[in-house]
Chains A and B, each alone.
Chain A
């Protein structure tokens, strides 16, 4: 239930519909794991400063 809510609060640039099932599972695991640093694609964070989804 709460994992669904995580999805509903944070959106991703990644279009998960375009991925196959295995790739989607990997992407979804990353989404809901509450990672401290889960970089987006901006590549402009200094080391350790990433605040991305």
Chain B
């Protein structure tokens, strides 16, 4: 179903299995095992060198530093950030509860130009909700203090509110709190049944609750003038009002397609939620392990009922982690699927997609100097910082990406060859930028400009 990349575009690295929180929804699969603290695995400085060597060699664009709680393995976290800073290719983000985020850490993080932001979890607007879910008295105030330290340093800080039946009534209040703190974006994501939980029905959202939360989230974004989103996939038919809730529509599962996970033992997995290991990065080449993950790309994990669904290309069949905890099969249906709503959801999705507003094209353009790219068999993957800018045909990429920044391309020539629409799109995506005499290679170009 998907073409195979030579390596993932994004890699999540779990620095440690340790975490001071014990969230009721935690997806870390190792939590079902009884461990003493000494038995929890942590990547060492020597091991992370090997991991980063492989990520550099295979040209991974983005490293997501996660855990457990990554702040509980700071030496390795800073080693990754040092490697990323010196790579001239990779960027990094951090997912953290911010427990352990001191003012000194925030100042140090500010110096990393290739750290694009930090994502933290806020499970409610106050300590009574957050701490109860985290099973950690005092966790809320520590997380909020960590956010304040980051925001004081102007480090982009986003919130993910993991949503269950327990806290679904607090979206608006939590958004207000996040806004007051000065976050960059506010995301709300359904809690997935953890693998150590045999019955999650008291917590898992059902379909009406999912739709209500999306409506509330959209309203929160409007009311507080806050970018809002979701950080997981929902079946298109579960969303139903895809026109209304574009923030959740059109995302497909990225596990094993563009994303891989490296565990704190050096094992490679497709998804942070899942235990299945495909290889040991401390001993094997990353690309060799990645090729072993073909089942995520060839369609064999798509639920049977979705394989003939007309919406498959833009839906992807929902979440495989939800499927396996519900039925013990990766190929099972996402519990939120509503097949009777496919036609409605698809029609509204297609009608609602925002179309590009044509821009006044400049006379001359050059390739954006901050674009990084990786050559694949079927094209060239382009990245702007942590954002994929698309995949270009190899011949077109050769012409555009290798063009000399001091030798601009004539837009009339480009539009005659590719159409105005395509040139519009290349500029909107930030692959091409208007030519000015001195294009600073260090300058970050905002492609949403208007002339």
Contact = CB atoms under 8 A, between A and B. Distances in A.
B185 A14 contact: no
Contact of A43 (B3, B231, B429): B231
A44 to B, nearest CB: 6
A18 B2 CA distance: 8
Interface in B50-108: 62, 64, 93
Interface stretch (B196-204, B320-328, B352-360): B352-360
Contact of B299 (A18, A37, A38): A18
Contact of A22 (B258, B310, B356): B310
Nearest to B233: A43
Contacts of A48: 227
B387 A39 contact: no
Nearest to B424: A34
Contact-residue size bin, chain A (C-beta under 8 Å from the other chain): 35 or more
A26 B258 contact: no
B271 to A, nearest CB: 11
Interface string A1-28: 0100110111111111011101110110
A51 B422 contact: no
Interface stretch (B206-214, B245-253, B332-340): B245-253
A47 to B, nearest CB: 4
A27 B313 CA distance: 6
B427 to A, nearest CB: 11
Contacts of A22: 310
A51 B64 CA distance: 19
A14 B337 CA distance: 22
A23 B310 CA distance: 5
Given A23-B313, A50-B387, A34 B233 contact: no
A41 B258 contact: yes
Interface stretch (B25-33, B132-140, B164-172, B389-397): B389-397
B48 interface: no
Interface in B343-375: 346, 350, 353-357
B310 A34 contact: no
Given A5-B419, A47-B187, A53-B390, A37 B354 contact: yes
B330 interface: no
Interface string B164-187: 000000000000000000001101
A7 to B, nearest CB: 8
B346 A26 contact: yes
A33 B313 contact: no
B390 A10 contact: yes
B387 A43 contact: no
Interface stretch (B120-128, B273-281, B378-386, B402-410): B378-386
Given A6-B421, A43-B231, A47-B229, 5 more contacts: A11-B391, A19-B312, A34-B421, A43-B259, A51-B388
20 contacts: A6-B422, A10-B391, A11-B379, A14-B3, A19-B313, A20-B308, A23-B311, A34-B355, A35-B353, A35-B356, A36-B356, A37-B353, A38-B353, A42-B388, A44-B387, A45-B388, A50-B387, A51-B390, A51-B447, A52-B387
Interface of A: 2, 5-6, 8-16, 18-20, 22-24, 26-27, 29-30, 33-53
Interface of B: 1-3, 5, 9-10, 62, 64, 93, 117, 158, 184-185, 187, 221, 227-229, 231-233, 246-247, 250-254, 257-259, 299, 308-314, 316, 346, 350, 353-357, 378-379, 384, 386-393, 396, 417-419, 421-422, 424-426, 428-430, 447
